[in-house]
Amino acid sequence: MSEAKLWVRNMYTGPGGGAYTGPGGGMYTGPGGGAYTGPGGGLYTGPGGGAYTGPGGGLYTGPGGGLYTGPGGGLYTGPGGGMYTGPDSNPYMGIHPPWPLFAIELRKMRMVKQAEIIEKALRNSGCNI
């Protein structure tokens, strides 16, 4: 079994990166953004959504939650936080890449439909992929 590939998230400045203000960025209001009401958005009530009360949800008070004040939380202003704009000396390693790169990785795994869904959402949000 090959070793899992990890992605440095905080130092990435493209789509999905912590300092990025476009699609997938902390200040963006389109798909993947904090104010977006669809899948992956801050007001979405399913997994990964801001109103979701499980892991990764915005109202979740554990790691990765939007109201969480520790590493990875939406209101956290330090490394890995949604408002943090600088590089991280101790970067958070994500288990999947930023959305545009994730679509490419999915295509490599022959998961074309999933890649197309992500690419469509990114294009609809103005991301030039």
The residue with greater pLDDT, 124 or 66, is 124
Is it the case that residue 104 has pLDDT exceeding 50? yes
pTM to 2 decimal places: 0.34
Amino acid letter for position 116: E
Question: Model confidence at 4, in pLDDT bands (50, 70, 90)?
Answer: low
User: Which has the closest alpha carbon to 82: 15, 7, 27, 11?
Assistant: 27
Q: What is the pLDDT of residues 58-103, one digit of tens each?
A: 444 444 444 444 444 344 444 444 444 444 444 445 556 677 888 8
